[in-house]
Chains A and B, each alone.
Chain A
Amino acid sequence: MSQNVTASAHGGLTLRSDPWWALPLTVVVFLGSFIVYSTWAAFQNAHYYVPPYLSPFYSPCISKSCLHLTFGWGLPEFSLPIIGIVSPAFLILAGPGFFRLTCYYYRKAYYRSFWLAPMACAVRDRSGYSGETRFPLILQNLHRYTWYVAVFFIVVLTWDALLAFRFPDGFGIGVGTIVMWINVILLAAYTFSCHSCRHVCGGVLDVFSKAPARYRLWRFITRLNERHPVYAWLSLFFVGFTDLYIRLVSMGIIRDWRIL
């Protein structure tokens, strides 16, 4: 038997009956928490170095006031009204920050969760949408340049991870050494699974058979790229965790266990 139910075909926000709001909300909570923590940590300008560990938020340390100068020299300190001396973290955080900001995966995440365009599939979009055709979102097209910068950071963080074997009393391995190596491996997995990297390394070609080395590289990056969102989240959490670990050891709240 049938009965009338008055409603238009697609009135309201959506006809979806599943908890479609859960994923964007989760992204807001976790991404928001990371942004709050990393901003707080960058403002601290302290407890970012405990021999032989340097926090990834402060690497490369290029300010003269740095506790551990990466290149042996430092830029002069500069201050801003109200803020005071600018933390060295702010000199370098923009690099990886812009890489994540323009990342094809994070674009999906924050367009859905923060931009609400749209919040979820088949959920009504906000009005006034122009996509990535106008300033500032048209700058997303420069993602590959932020990738080049991110590759530089991987080199620097790998150097830091190597230095994490050099304790004041000689060669050693601590829990912090392992934390720093996991951090750099996850960040490298995220950086080299990037869509722009995939394009630059081989995706641009139409005839793979004429460039077998680039084809093999493209296939390898394609396999990494399939897990790009996983690497994006794992590396985000772990870079925050690495800073927190070094901070807590530096403050004397926890002790770094020496394995070797």
Chain B
Amino acid sequence: MPTAIMRVFRGDAKGGGFQEYRVPAEEGMVVLDVIHEIQATQAPDLAVRWNCKAGKCGSCSAEVNGKPRLMCMTRMNIFPEGEPITVAPMRTFPLIRDLVTDVSFNFEMAKRVPAFRPRPRDPDGTYRMQQEDIDRPQEFHKCIECFLCQNVCHVIRDHEDNKRHFAGPRLFVRYAALEMHPLDTNDRRELLKEKMGLGFCNITKCCTEVCPEHIKITDNAIIPLKERVVDEYYDPVLWLVRKLTGRK
């Protein structure tokens, strides 16, 4: 049975370092299995957040060999045998202990999203939507809130100050789902431009690369939001049309 060499971060907000563990790796194992094996046999106090082990709860986000990944969806056989595998906590969020971070920033930002405000009901008291109207928001509803996109986004990953005025890709997906919703009447463009830092995104697409649900975050959420902000604030022709026609 091959032995996996795991370098797992151990420590808390005060400091820490990588600790090396050698674990027998069985066929079919994922990184989370190996972390559990370490917990069970060598480090019972190793802190790790996990839940479903099926890539649907978004709990076990970490950085494996420097890449943001869900540990439960990262198979061990993708790594060269005999080479050390580093497992580190997500860098963007404050460390609680070992592999567990405080992701409350995301929930605080979620509180600031203006709620869904539907148009009045149809005369027969119902709401009707066609499938083509709802396809776009449905893609965004696949989000499992693993926050890997938030973690990899360099705007907040490498610039802590930006957390005050940058919602991040996960929240932009939420904004896009609401902005493109066929029933919603709220206009969030000013908020996106002025308070949520949409202009800080420079389209480097890392959020899309790490999304375990394969949501095309940049192409389908962020860029369309940027274009909607352009409609309102940067397009002189549309501005003139609005002035002349009085249309919003």
Residues of A in contact with B (beta carbons under 8 Å apart): 1-10, 14-18, 104, 107-108, 111-112, 115, 117-118, 121-122, 124-125, 129-133, 137-138, 141-144, 195-196, 199, 203-204, 206-209, 215, 225-226
Contacts and interface: CB of A to CB of B under 8 A. Distances in A.
B133 A209 contact: yes
Contacts of A215: 132
Given A16-B66, A142-B234, A206-B184, A5 B7 contact: yes
Contacts of A225: 219
Interface string B25-58: 0000000000000000011000000000000000
Contacts of B202: 107-108, 111, 115, 117, 131-132, 137
A209 B134 CA distance: 10
A108 B155 contact: no
Contacts, number: 160
Contact of B159 (A9, A129, A144): A129
A112 B43 CA distance: 39
Contacts of A195: 219, 223-224, 227
Interface in B115-134: 129-130, 132-133
Question: Chain A binding site: helix, strand, loop or mixed by DSSP?
Answer: loop
A121 B227 CA distance: 24
Contact of B230 (A18, A141, A206, A226): A141
A144 B238 CA distance: 12
Nearest to A121: B206
B205 interface: yes
Nearest to B68: A122
B181 interface: yes
Interface of B: 7, 9, 11, 15-22, 42-43, 63, 65-68, 83, 86, 88-89, 91, 95, 129-130, 132-133, 152, 154-155, 157-159, 162, 179-182, 184, 197, 199-206, 209-210, 219, 223-224, 226-231, 233-235
A162 B181 CA distance: 45
Contacts of B22: 1-2
Contacts of B133: 206-209
A122 B67 contact: yes
Contact of A9 (B88, B154, B162, B224): B88
B219 A15 contact: no
A208 B138 CA distance: 14
A14 B202 CA distance: 20
Given A15-B86, A206-B180, 13 more contacts: A9-B18, A10-B91, A15-B66, A118-B154, A121-B67, A122-B157, A125-B157, A143-B230, A195-B227, A204-B231, A206-B179, A208-B132, A226-B219
Contacts of B229: 141
Contact of B17 (A7, A14, A17): A7
